[in-house]
């Protein structure tokens, strides 16, 4: 694994875990910053960088939506229409804003129920474990490689190690956020899906990374792609009573 990547993770990982665990306003501000940066980078990839100003608008709109606790889907649609006119296809804008709406829902529900926040943090840490295992074992494992339109340097076996690492991590975190034993493996599979989808988007856009703000990783989306896919999917699967929108 890249030493610069390790240094970056050591620098940002513990503060992120602490802010999520504490919840409240710090968690909301962090989520708004991550959602804004990641959605702007995703829009930039999906539109192949054709309109950087539009990508910035999408990122700002997403971050603002999380910060202001915008929850119903129709309000996000209004936000997209008002803040992001002429920002590309509906698919690009909608996909980018989906991460924001998901994080807004998680943050709002965690304010009412600390167990939601523990679920969020457990999913995040398990996803990081899957990513790290795939990164470490990938260069050492052989076997079939991904198609060239995704990334021919990556091997399927590394994702298998990621699934095992996520399952193990989720098992260790049972004391913190109890769940079914199969949840960890599902997190690992979704983490692999997130990495593959972003790799394909970057290859299509002709970009090595989604950004440059995180040395060793690239952009915020490069660090959070797998986590965002997991958070979106678990949000859909495990809707809680009282959720708005």
Distance CA(28)–CA(31), nearest Å, equals 5
pLDDT digits (tens, 9 = 90+) for 231-242: 988 888 766 534
CA–CA gap between residue 34 and residue 99 (Å, rounded): 9
Q: What is the pLDDT of residue 168?
A: 95
Asked if residue 125 is part of any domain, the answer here is: yes
pLDDT, the chain, mean: 86
Q: Is residue 51 part of a domain?
A: yes
Q: Which residue range forms the structural domain that includes residue 124?
A: 3-237
Share of the chain above pLDDT 70, in %: 91
Can you give the pTM of this predicted structure? Answer: 0.89
Place of tokens 């929850």: 71
Answer whether residue 123 shows pLDDT above 50. Answer: yes
Dist. CA 145–CA 128, nearest whole Å: 22
Does 243 map to a domain?
Answer: no
**Residues β-bridged to residue 155:** 145
Position 207 in a domain: yes
Residue 244: per-residue pLDDT = 38
Strand, helix or coil for residue 48: coil
Q: How many CA atoms lie within 13 A of 174 on its CB side?
A: 10
Q: Which residues pair with 218 in a beta bridge?
A: 214
Calculate mean pLDDT across residues 70-79. 77
Q: Let me know if residue 154 belongs to a domain.
A: yes
CB 222 within 8 A of CB 211: yes
CA–CA dist 183, 171 (Å, integer): 9
**What is the count of structural domains for the chain?**
1
Say if CB 36 and CB 59 are below 8 A apart: yes
The span from the CA of 221 to the CA of 226, in Å, is 9
Q: Check residues 87 and 188 and name the one with the higher pLDDT.
A: 188
pLDDT of residue 83: 67
CB 188, CB 211: distance < 8 Å: no
Q: What is the pLDDT of residue 51?
A: 81
The DSSP annotation for 119-176 comes to HHHHHHHHHHHHHHHHHHHGGG--S-B--TTT-TT-BHHHHHHHHHHHHHHHHHGGGT
pLDDT in tens, 153-184: 788 889 999 999 999 999 999 999 998 778 99
Closest CA to 228 of 68, 20, 38: 38
What is the pLDDT, as a whole number, of residue 87? 60
Question: Which bin fits 206, alpha (ψ -120 to 50), beta or left (φ > 0)?
Answer: left
Distance linking the first and last C-alpha atoms of the chain: 41
Residue 245 reports pLDDT greater than 80: no
For 76-119, write each residue's pLDDT tens digit: 777 777 766 666 666 677 777 778 888 888 998 888 889 999 99
Domain assignment of residue 191, yes or no: yes
In this prediction, residues 201-210 reach a mean pLDDT of 87
pLDDT for the residue numbered 242: 41
244 domain-assigned? no
Residue 52 has pLDDT above 90, yes or no: no
Q: Tell me the average pLDDT across 132-158.
A: 83
Residue 89 lies in a domain: yes
């Amino acid at each position: 694994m890249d030493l610069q990547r390790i240094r970056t993770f050591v620098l940002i990982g513990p503060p992120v875990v602490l802010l999520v665990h504490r919840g409240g306003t710090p968690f909301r501000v962090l989520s708004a910053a991550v959602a804004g940066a990641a959605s702007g980078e995703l829009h930039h990839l999906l539109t192949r960088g054709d309109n950087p100003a539009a990508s910035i608008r999408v990122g700002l709109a997403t971050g603002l939506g999380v910060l202001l606790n915008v929850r119903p889907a129709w309000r996000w649609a209004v936000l997209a229409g008002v803040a992001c006119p002429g920002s590309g296809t509906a698919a690009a804008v909608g996909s980018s804003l989906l991460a924001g709406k998901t994080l807004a829902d998680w943050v709002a529900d965690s304010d009412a129920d600390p167990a939601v926040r523990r679920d969020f943090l457990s999913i995040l840490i398990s996803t990081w474990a899957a990513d790290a295992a795939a990164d470490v074992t990938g260069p050492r494992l052989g076997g079939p490689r991904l198609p060239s339109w995704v990334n021919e340097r990556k091997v399927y076996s590394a994702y298998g190690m990621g699934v095992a690492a996520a399952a193990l991590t989720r098992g260790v975190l049972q004391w913190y956020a109890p769940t079914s034993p199969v949840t960890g493996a599902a997190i690992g599979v979704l983490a692999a899906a997130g990495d593959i989808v972003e790799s394909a988007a970057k290859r299509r856009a002709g970009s090595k990374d989604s950004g440059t703000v995180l040395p060793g990783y690239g952009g915020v989306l490069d660090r959070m792609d797998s986590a965002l896919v997991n958070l979106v999917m678990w949000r859909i699967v495990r809707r809680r009573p009282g959720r708005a929108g």
